[in-house]
Amino acid sequence: MCGIIGFAGHEEAAPILLDGLARMEYRGYDSAGIAVRSDKWGLQAKKSRGRLETLYGLTHGGADLDGPLGIGHTRWATHGEPSDINAHPHISEGGNVALVHNGIIENYLEIKEWLLQKGVHFVSETDTEVAVQLLEYYYRECDSMLEAVARLIHRIEGSYAFGIICSDYPNALIAARKDAPLILGYGKGCNFIASDVTAIIKYTRDVTYMSDGEIAVVTAESIDVFDTDLTSVTKARSRISWDVSAAEKGGYPHFMFKEIMEQPEAIQNTVSPRIRDGRVVLDKFSMTPEEVRSISRIFIVACGSAYHVGMVCKYTWERLLRRQVEVSLGSEFRYRDPLVDENSLVVIISQSGETLDTMAALREAKRLGGKTLAVVNVVGSSIAREADHVLYTWAGPEIAVATTKAYSTQLALLDLIGLYFADLLGTVSAEEYREILEAVQTLPEKMRVCLEDVQKVQYLASRYFNHDSIFFIGRNLDYAMGLEGSLKLKEISYIHSEAYASGELKHGTISLIEPGTLVVALGTYEALFDKAMSNVVEVKARGAEVLALTTEKFRDRMEKTADCTIVVPDTHPIVQPSLGVVPLQLFAYYVALQRGCDIDKPRNLAKSVTVE
Ligand code: G6P
């Protein structure tokens, strides 16, 4: 995620801002910038694509920018590729407001249209520039920056943490937040804003956490907080006791755990800007309705967990689109002479956008004349650039090798794309469209419910962590979800694990079941729940210990048969794997923790596999 820092004090701001940005490097970024205000020069900003060293070089370690008030930003691209122009801070056209932003402004296109009609000129592709131009517009009208910020946050929809400086205000910076983190830091003769405590822990451990809808005015001597109606709010201070490495992980012990916990927010960021008035709206999606209607066959190509997303998608899209969907591993697809033609859609799924086999598969699909659509997390990555069409998951940077939030945002985005296509193809009823869309919209809140139950999963992990071999069984969407549950477990805990389609048990696997074997039985797919129960009975009859996963609806039945049961909320069957996978991620995490494994960097594995 983007990193924000702001400083108001009596010494030069620029070196402090650069230092703060360097401490947030672990969050991941593709460009960086700072803006500083001085009486002599007004606002000065420097920003650049690439590593922070470039910005250090550009500013001679900050020495080129004068002034005791400033804001800084590391950007992780969402709207617009990583570039000097799209980097923050963004400066208003009139030149007197500079702003940094973390989050996504959902109605930015509508506001941009409105501002364009008023004669405002834009230079970047970002949603953030819309905020700074609108802010200047309001500032001209009301002549108070605080009031202009209040008007801004009433007008925009989406998530934001803002840091703002204005050339007319020599001593104060303004901050605001909603659904994106922002803290206020109390220093000695200076004060701060920051996305996380790592940026400022060197200067202070006294902080206040801003709440949604609050606006703060920060000077060297004071911090005043207001609500959206500009009524003063009294905030409690907290004392940070974490060390720097814990602070990087937001107080969580591992990046993987932090990223599991971030999933509701990541899904919200990915789906909510794409749902408007009960419809899926894919802004800037370059595929025309005619192209969509010409699709006769769909290939999904990916590696690792992204391939497992494809496995889920095969079931959901075939149901929704009534088109054949074939899922292929990147490493297989590229060498197998696939039957791709001009009526084929080849969907490439990749978190990094750099996986070599996936990239080669994309090139092969293009060579064969297929239409290619990339679903990617890293903006401007190789796959995103080379595919004919691209849609981004807005999960933010993922640091842990074992993916969690990228997987779940891919699932959610593919649900939306599936609905969008099905609508164009006329293969989904209005009622089902509405039900699925509602299920996707309520996913973040239902996922939060799953994440409240960590103690139970932790207990189960402590009960089963020393098994040598664990089987995951399920049917249909539960089978696809089991593939991911099993991969998570083996990659970070090093326990041998396999996932099987339950119907295949009798064709071999059941011979491996003996007294005490742990079987994770997945029974969340409503249509085949009875069959899932039969398989539980079968493995129990051979002495297996059964850890079951089901939904509220089937809780009672499952609890009567399985040895222990994890329950997730009910939702539409197409969306159910997005909830079911959460306890499986947590189970893998806690088992690996019990076994003392290096969770964020499992042996022999890499986050991005750029070799064959
Ligand atoms: C590696 C990662 C996995 C990921 C896979 C594909 O194996 O550890 O988490 O699913 O690569 O990566 P991609 O970036 O293409 O999604």
Identify the CA nearest to 474 among candidates 534, 409, 541: 534
Check pocket membership of 401 for ligand 1, CB cut-off 6 A: yes
Probe residue for ligand 1, chosen from 259, 305, 483 as the CB with the greatest number of ligand atoms within 8 Å: 305
Residue 202 is among the residues annotated as catalytic for this protein: no
Residue 2 is among the residues annotated as catalytic for this protein: yes
264 C-beta neighbours (distance < 10 Å), count: 20
Q: In one letter, which amino acid is 336?
A: R
Instruction: Using DSSP, state whether 90 is helix, strand or coil.
Output: strand
Identify the CA nearest to 258 among candidates 604, 27, 492: 27
Instruction: Using DSSP, state whether 526 is helix, strand or coil.
Output: helix
CA of 377 to the centre of ligand 1 (A): 11
- Examine the pLDDT at 453 and tell me if it is beyond 80: no
Distance in angstroms (rounded) separating the CA atoms of residues 297 and 560: 43
Atom of ligand 1 nearest to the CA of 383: 15
Atom of ligand 1 nearest to the CA of 605: 8
Owner of token pair 């089963």: 464
Fold of 452-604: Rossmann fold (3.40.50)
Give strand pairing partners of 38.
Answer: 42
Percent of the chain exceeding pLDDT 90 equals: 85
The one catalytic residue in 235, 553, 601, 607 is 607
Distance in angstroms (rounded) separating the CA atoms of residues 333 and 98: 48
Every domain of the chain with CATH number 3.60.20.10 lies at 3-240
Q: Which residue has the higher pLDDT, 198 or 279?
A: 279
Structure-block tokens of residue 576: 């159910």
Crossing angle of helices 576-594 and 477-493, in 10° steps, is 20
Every domain of the chain with CATH number 3.40.50.10490 lies at 249-441, 452-604
273 C-beta neighbours (distance < 10 Å), count: 24
CA of 148 to the centre of ligand 1 (A): 44
Check pocket membership of 608 for ligand 1, CB cut-off 6 A: yes
CA of 400 to the centre of ligand 1 (A): 11
CATH code for the structural domain at 249-441: 3.40.50.10490
- Examine the pLDDT at 366 and tell me if it is beyond 80: yes
Structure confidence by residue, pLDDT tens digits, 193-247: 999 888 999 899 999 989 999 999 999 999 999 999 999 999 999 888 777 777 7
| Strand-pair category, 371-376 with 344-350 | parallel
Q: What is the pLDDT of residue 1?
A: 64
Indicate the class that CATH gives domain 3-240: alpha beta
> pTM for this structure?
0.83
Probe residue for ligand 1, chosen from 259, 312, 348, 351 as the CB with the greatest number of ligand atoms within 8 Å: 351
Structure-block tokens of residue 611: 């070799």
Structure confidence by residue, pLDDT tens digits, 595-606: 999 999 888 887
Q: What is the pLDDT of residue 20?
A: 95
Identify the CA nearest to 593 among candidates 247, 254, 252: 254
Distance in angstroms (rounded) separating the CA atoms of residues 534 and 554: 14
Identify the CA nearest to 43 among candidates 171, 162, 166: 166
- Examine the pLDDT at 89 and tell me if it is beyond 80: yes
- How would residue 27 be classed by pLDDT, with cut points 50, 70 and 90? confident
CA of 610 to the centre of ligand 1 (A): 10
CA of 303 to the centre of ligand 1 (A): 6
Atom of ligand 1 nearest to the CA of 402: 9
Check pocket membership of 355 for ligand 1, CB cut-off 6 A: yes
- Residue of the CA atom closest to atom 7 of ligand 1: 304
Q: What is the pLDDT of residue 396?
A: 85
- Residue of the CA atom closest to atom 2 of ligand 1: 607
Cα separations (Å) of 378 from 49, 212, 375, 396?
Answer: 14, 27, 10, 8
Peptide bond before 89: cis, by omega within 30 degrees of 0? yes
Q: In one letter, which amino acid is 523?
A: G
Dihedral of alpha carbons 553, 557, 559, 561, sign: negative
Q: What is the pLDDT of residue 220?
A: 97
Structure confidence by residue, pLDDT tens digits, 518-535: 999 999 999 999 999 999
CA of 280 to the centre of ligand 1 (A): 27
Distance in angstroms (rounded) separating the CA atoms of residues 161 and 175: 7
List of E strands, 401-485: 469-474
With a CB cutoff of 8 Å and minimum separation 6, the contacts of 452 are none
Atom of ligand 1 nearest to the CA of 302: 15
